[in-house]
Structure 1
Amino acid sequence: MSNTTTNADGHVTEKAQPKAIFACLMAALAGLMFGLDIGVISGATKFIQQEFQISDQVIEWIVSSMMAGAALGALGAGSLSAKLGRKKSLMLGAILFVIGSILCGLATSPTMLIFARFLLGLAIGIASFTAPLYLAEVAPENIRGSMISLYQLMITAGILLAFLSNTAFSYYEAWRWMLGIIAIPGVLFLIGVFALPDSPRWLIMAGRREEAIKVLHRLRGDEKVIQQEVAEIEEQLKVPQKGWSLFKENANFRRSVGLGVLLQVVQQFTGMNVVMYYAPRIFEGMGYDTAAQMWFTAAVGLTNVLATFIAIFLVDKWGRKPILYTGFVVMAVGLGVVGTMLGMGNLSHGQQTFTVVMLLIFIVGFAMSAGPLIWTLCSEVQPLKGRDFGIGCSTFTNWIANMIVGATFLTMLGTLGQGTTFWIYAGLNVVFIFLVFLLVPETKGVTLERIERNLMQGKRLRDLGQ
């Protein structure tokens, strides 16, 4: 019996082979490392500050040094994955991740900790660019969307696991174990990467066509599918990437790059990563003790995981803009209430519980909207010839904006107070509602070719999906 199906336009697809699924699952584990690295620092900051007797500003540097490394890693990941290949780039990311994790656990000074976190950032910057690229190139087309969604889900799962691990080690104030133990999944990921094949697309780009066909035999198994995929890759590679030259020459492309950059700034200034990096400090401000701070932080991680499924199920039913509107309204209300309650001070038990619930509602708003959808939109609005350049610019911006948020939150708390700080983030989410209305196109059910054609014809950004 044939394992293939043919759709209306004659395109042959095949049921996913076990080896292809294994390759996708291993690559998706890069998302788990990503999430672990984001989540692990939140539970450690209090104990690091106590041991080294350092200020909030030094803690901000320890937190944000990871994002500085990630920005640099993401900036070089494109050329790295083109020269070394996707597999070797993932291996390099895994090695840096393991080394950085171990150094974090062994750190004898804040300076060493900042350096180790920077190494971890390099690893995450490389992996966050390369893993989705590898997934897109290795996954059979009939499961490609679900595999890339799995990568996003693994990030949230990694954050949750880090929060749970932090909670367990917090009873012993063992911050070195909090930071160091994530080397174990890093080692397991590195071992798994050795078993992965090279990307067929990269092999063809490198002039190794016969190797690419052998890999496709392992991943696909059907000769018709293999011939079709090789022909499609070779056809796509005839369209050269002209990112920088196109950016200089074409004002319409500059508009799409600018939109991608703006969207990433929007995503970071929702305040989500403030909660991810400093959740225990936020719960301390509500009046909770250390144990409660850590358990509520784990609840933040669980809420983030569960709410991500909302986006996965609704994105192609509701459309991008309705989900973004809903998410920003929920986030603005959630943070506005949190700011109001924290501004009151000396909360009763009932008021504390209400404030926690509103913070979790904020998490739901982000995870169902700006979290996954910003990445989707950033890829959809870039024309084919400049897609790598456009996505590279938006990814770099994401980490820089992330770093700014991480490096300023405690200072804002200290100078402006808890209530005002959260009101500022709530106000930004209100501004973002208007930005979505003015600039963001509805791309639900619209082909990338149509979006590109509208862009190059000079249509308004909000009309690119019409």
Structure 2
Amino acid sequence: MTTIAKPPATKSPAARASVISSLGSNPYGVFVCLMAALAGLLFGLDIGVISGALPFIAKQFMLNDHVQEWIVSSMMVGAAIGAIGAGWLAWHIGRRYALGLAAVLFVIGSLWSGFAGNPDHLIAARLVLGLAVGVASFTAPLYLSEVAPRQVRGAMISTYQLMITVGILAAFLSNIGLSYVADWRWMLGVIAIPAVLFLLGVIALPDSPRWLMARGRMPEAQAVLQRLYDDPADVEAEIREVTEQNAQPKQGWGLLRVNSNFRRSVALGAVLQIFQQLTGINVVMYYAPRIFGLAGFATHEQQLWATVVVGLVNVIATFGAIAFVDRWGRKPILYAGCAVMAAGMGVLGLLLHIGITSTAAQAVAVASLLLFIAGFAMSAGPLVWILCSEIQPQQGRDFGIAVSTFVNWAANMVVAATFLSLLSSLGESNTFLLYAILNIAFGVAVFLYVPETRGVSLERLGRNLLAGKRLRDLGKID
């Protein structure tokens, strides 16, 4: 095999545009990336739907705040368990079949939720949905990071986050339509329809070429790469780099025990996922109607319409991440996002302290909440998933991403299960001011520890990590 020069860490705007244009001219590559990203649509539907259904569920079963918190957070428990098992599944049966299993669990959990006869059954059904979300949230970004060209890897993984936001918006719209008949069963059960469509789409996906090469199935991997990449030189370069990495054994837990450098990347992935949840995003998504009630929206219908605006801003702002993550880089966007999120939560907290007693104050409260949503959607939402799929070395990638995904859902569960209690103990104003402070801390952590990974191959990032470079310098080339 001829020697291929290693690509530079960054490309000129013209070269990058050429890569994106090439991807766009490859219908198969676009189809593969979009189908994998559709896992995010189901993820988003399950996040968004509960905010509209919960008031009706609470009314029918006469539930207190504690039981409502468990109905919301039970999905996170399942997701944390699913994330633990997803690494094993993705390695032993492949990324494609792991996504297929997630699709089947989405169908089962959605139908069970719609037919649940009591709160216990509903909690169990949402545990199943959580298993699906845990497997999908681990496997989809991993799969996308392994099939997308490095020059557009950030944009492709951001598409997964975009699908999450689209799913949330679709759930909010569905909630409004079904709220007029107060039918929470349809709100939860209708998700089975897109889950079936996703299952059919997964059947048409190829296996990850990196996974195939790791299993010694080189001809199949080469055939997949030839369909994904238009340039034969890109195929040859990809095979060369992955082959070099696969020469080193996959160790996972063993690597974690003996290699302090790998422990650093695993720890960074976990910290990033914790901070993503401590921004307060899922508090807004799960309890949006309740938050808008605090902001002065009196009726449930008004609160649901306000959540639709939240979902719309969430979708629009995510396009910003897709457009700029591979142009500006990961860190500048995270800095901007942390500042915007802190400002949004801080203003909302101050308004709740002063009292929202006028139409003008209500408008400012809504604007601050939307500002927070925009900041998250263009930064921490997609970029944390991107970074967690990039910073792990090939030898322990499945294990490292499984740990960070598990931590994400464990933190998500804690946040969801404590928000109503925080409101009661700290007060409304102090709760949101706390989230503002946590967003500032997130920005500090980005400055100190997060590397700039734009345009750098996964293999180079892994080599720099295992060579002992500082975490923030992993993307630098000597």
Aligned match for 1:328, one of 330, 333, 338: 338
Q: Which has the larger displacement, 447-456 or 182-191?
A: 447-456
Q: Secondary structure at the match of 1:425?
A: helix
Residues 446 and 143 of structure 1: is their aligned pair in 2 closer, same or farther, counting only changes over 3 Å? Answer: closer
Query: For the residues of structure 2 that align with 1:228 and 1:446, how far apart are their CA atoms?
Result: 14
Q: Secondary structure at the match of 1:382?
A: coil
Give the alignment's TM-score, normalised by structure 1. 0.89
Letter paired with 1:328: C
Residues 358 and 443 of structure 1: is their aligned pair in 2 closer, same or farther, counting only changes over 3 Å? Answer: same
Letter paired with 1:400: A
Deviation by residue 1:19-44 (Cα, 9 ceiling, x = unmatched): 34333322221111111111111111
Aligned match for 1:52, one of 55, 58, 61: 61
Q: Which residue of structure 1 aligns with residue 412 of structure 2?
A: 402
Query: For the residues of structure 1 that align with 2:132 and 2:29, how far apart are their CA atoms?
Result: 24
Checking the alignment, whether the CA contact within 8 Å between 1:165 and 1:178 is kept in structure 2 is yes
Offset of residue 87 of structure 1: 2.5
Q: Which residue of structure 2 aligns with residue 356 of structure 1?
A: 366
Residues 380 and 21 of structure 1: is their aligned pair in 2 closer, same or farther, counting only changes over 3 Å? Answer: closer
Query: For the residues of structure 1 that align with 2:161 and 2:293, how far apart are their CA atoms?
Result: 29
Offset of residue 256 of structure 1: 2.2
Residues 83 and 225 of structure 1: is their aligned pair in 2 closer, same or farther, counting only changes over 3 Å? Answer: same
Q: Secondary structure at the match of 1:54?
A: coil
Residues 384 and 22 of structure 1: is their aligned pair in 2 closer, same or farther, counting only changes over 3 Å? Answer: closer
Checking the alignment, whether the CA contact within 8 Å between 1:319 and 1:444 is kept in structure 2 is yes
Checking the alignment, whether the CA contact within 8 Å between 1:70 and 1:118 is kept in structure 2 is yes
Higher RCO (CA-CA < 8 Å; seq separation 6+): 2
Offset of residue 241 of structure 1: 1.9
Letter paired with 1:177: W
Count of residues in Structure 1 that have an aligned counterpart in Structure 2: 460
Residues 344 and 259 of structure 1: is their aligned pair in 2 closer, same or farther, counting only changes over 3 Å? Answer: same
Aligned match for 1:119, one of 128, 149, 155: 128
Q: Which residue of structure 1 aligns with residue 348 of structure 2?
A: 338
Matches within 5 A, 1:53-452: 53-139=62-148, 144-209=153-218, 211-212=220-221, 233-288=242-297, 289-345=299-355, 347-444=357-454, 451-452=461-462
Q: Secondary structure at the match of 1:239?
A: coil
**Unmatched segments (≥5 aa) in structure 1:** 1-6
Q: Which residue of structure 2 aligns with residue 4 of structure 1?
A: none
Residues 320 and 384 of structure 1: is their aligned pair in 2 closer, same or farther, counting only changes over 3 Å? Answer: same
Offset of residue 465 of structure 1: 4.4
Q: Which has the larger displacement, 165-174 or 22-31?
A: 22-31
Deviation by residue 1:224-279 (Cα, 9 ceiling, x = unmatched): 87677656554442232223222212223222221221111111101011001110
Query: For the residues of structure 2 that align with 1:316 and 1:185, how far apart are their CA atoms?
Result: 30
Letter paired with 1:355: A
Query: For the residues of structure 2 that align with 1:261 and 1:208, how far apart are their CA atoms?
Result: 32
Residues 437 and 130 of structure 1: is their aligned pair in 2 closer, same or farther, counting only changes over 3 Å? Answer: closer
Residues 35 and 384 of structure 1: is their aligned pair in 2 closer, same or farther, counting only changes over 3 Å? Answer: same
% identity of equivalent residues = 61
Checking the alignment, whether the CA contact within 8 Å between 1:335 and 1:423 is kept in structure 2 is yes
Residues 107 and 429 of structure 1: is their aligned pair in 2 closer, same or farther, counting only changes over 3 Å? Answer: same
Query: For the residues of structure 2 that align with 1:54 and 1:270, how far apart are their CA atoms?
Result: 28
Offset of residue 220 of structure 1: 6.1
Deviation by residue 1:78-103 (Cα, 9 ceiling, x = unmatched): 21122222222222111110110011
Residues 201 and 271 of structure 1: is their aligned pair in 2 closer, same or farther, counting only changes over 3 Å? Answer: same
Residues 383 and 53 of structure 1: is their aligned pair in 2 closer, same or farther, counting only changes over 3 Å? Answer: same
Deviation by residue 1:341-393 (Cα, 9 ceiling, x = unmatched): 12334521221111001100011111122112222333333333233222221
Checking the alignment, whether the CA contact within 8 Å between 1:20 and 1:140 is kept in structure 2 is no
Q: Secondary structure at the match of 2:392?
A: coil
Give the alignment's TM-score, normalised by structure 2. 0.87
Offset of residue 323 of structure 1: 2.3
Q: Which has the larger displacement, 344-353 or 269-278?
A: 344-353
Query: For the residues of structure 2 that align with 1:388 and 1:340, how far apart are their CA atoms?
Result: 43
Query: For the residues of structure 1 that align with 2:318 and 2:449, how far apart are their CA atoms?
Result: 24
Deviation by residue 1:388-436 (Cα, 9 ceiling, x = unmatched): 2222211111110011001000111122221121111112122223323
Q: Which residue of structure 2 aligns with residue 3 of structure 1?
A: none
Query: For the residues of structure 2 that align with 1:68 and 1:368, how far apart are their CA atoms?
Result: 27
